[in-house]
Every structure is written in structure tokens, then in C-alpha cells.
Amino acid sequence: LAKTTQPISMDSYEGQEVNITCSHNNIATNDYITWYQQFPSQGPRFIIQGYKTKVTNEVASLFIPADRKSSTLSLPRVSLSDTAVYYCLVARPDYGGSQGNLIFGKGTKLSVKP
Amino acid sequence: EPEVTQTPSHQVTQMGQEVILRCVPISNHLYFYWYRQILGQKVEFLVSFYNNEISEKSEIFDDQFSVERPDGSNFTLKIRSTKLEDSAMYFCASSVPGRVNTEAFFGQGTRLTVV
């Protein structure tokens, strides 16, 4: 599976839009891009997944350019409670749906300040 | 909202002792997983389980580890002879099969401390 690279940390202020970019140069045709969020002492939580172009849900948007070698997670109007670690993963869902291929990196530690 | 539940939330054990970490996955899920996270480090995959057998395991999941689904609801991780380096948060997760599904639901974790 493709290795991902993302910033180690980011700072933001309440009410701002935060964009976290991840690179995955060796992404394969069958791979999806998925993002998880983790609060301290809690398990990771799925945020969003996408294959190409733009995906939006009630929490975030995910922008994927045509070459799919990078992706950007966009969090609109962050609040203090969005302070967490955000993981970009490249995952290969198969017909069995096994998530053993959820390989977590170090993630981006987002700190939201008042 | 359905959730994965794990017990206990914190387990302290002496080196060399056996521990069993317990998980109740979401009821209609068919894939079950264990991950661990050593303090300050990344989340690491241990094992996945489907149809009453291990489907994938990592290099970390050696002979001291085993998993079991003893009944229709519980999913357990057993560590036979704990070592100091087994101290970590252990997360159970579950998912539904899906051709384009990369969403796994994680529990709150069990903090294992080996002394």
C-alpha cells in the first residue's frame, strides 16, 4: 500500500477553515483515500473516504486531484473540540471488506486555539 | 448509535501473566480487528478475524497472542505471557464487508499496563 506523508502538526483558531494535505505518490488504481480522527485516549474515528474529485459529508470535505497523488482534508469553521490527530490512509477495500490494510502513520496533530 | 465496547478500560498485570482483553463488536458487523497503540506512537494493526478464523495478522501478532470469538457477541484478545513492552492501548474494531468500504468502528480501548 502507498505510503502517506502529512504534516506532523498544525495550529488554527476557532472559526477558521483548516486544510490538511496528504501526499500518496504511489497510490494504486484500487486504493481509496480515507481519513480518521483520534482524540487522546480514544480509538480512531472514521471521517471520510474518497476515490477522486470531491467528497463532502456533514463533518468534512475531501479534495482529490485527477492524478490522485495527494488529497486535502478540509474542516470548515473548526472549534476547540476539533483538536485531535488526523490520519490520512490509503486503503484497499476488497470484496471481503477487511480493514487489516488500515495502516496508520503518525498523523497530523491539529491544535485549535480560542 | 451502535458502538464497539471494550472491557476493562484499564488492566494492570504483572510481567509473565496472561491477560484477556474483551470486546463486543457492533452486532451486524462481520469483520473484527485488534490494533494497539504504544503511548505516543502510531496505531498498529495486530490481527483481523472473519468467519471464525484469522484473515490477516501482522508481524507483531506472534505466538503469545491469540484471538477468539467464543460466542455470538464477544471477541477476545489473549496475551499469554505479558512483557513490559506489551504495555499499550489496545483497540478493538469491527466493520461490515463492502467493496468500497474503508470504515472501521473502533472501541474506546483497553489500557494495558505490564509491571
Residue carrying the nine cell digits 494497539 = B36
Q: How far apart are CA A82 and CA A35, in angstroms?
A: 14
- Which of the four CATH numbers 3.20.20.140, 3.40.1710.10, 3.40.462.10, 2.60.40.10 does domain B5-114 have? 2.60.40.10
In terms of residues, how long is chain A?
A: 114
What architecture is the A9-113 domain classified under in CATH? Sandwich (2.60)
Interchain CB contact of A106 with B (< 8 Å): yes
Predicted confidence band of residue B2 (pLDDT cuts 50, 70, 90): confident
Which of chain A's residues have a Cβ under 8 Å away from the Cβ of B102? 32, 34, 46, 49, 89, 91, 93, 99, 102
Give the three-state DSSP class for A80.
helix
pLDDT for the residue B72: 78
Q: How far apart are CA A35 and CA B58, in angstroms?
A: 22
Q: Are A97 and B95 inside 8 Å of each other by CB?
A: yes
Least CB-CB distance to A93: which of B57, B102, B109? B102
Predicted confidence band of residue A97 (pLDDT cuts 50, 70, 90): very low
Among A59-63, A94-98, B29-33, B93-97, the range scoring the smallest mean pLDDT is: A94-98
In A, minimum Cα distance to B88 occurs at: A41
Interface of B with A in 16-35 (CB under 8 A): 30-31, 33, 35
Q: Are B56 and A98 inside 8 Å of each other by CB?
A: yes
Average pLDDT over residues B28-45: 92
CA angle B67/B70/B76 to nearest 5° reads: 35
Interchain CB contact of A40 with B (< 8 Å): no
Residue A110 cell numbers, joined: 491539529
pLDDT for the residue B100: 63
State phi, psi for B86 to the nearest 5 degrees.
-80, -5
Interchain CB contact of B56 with A (< 8 Å): yes
| Per-residue pLDDT at B102 exceeds 80 | no
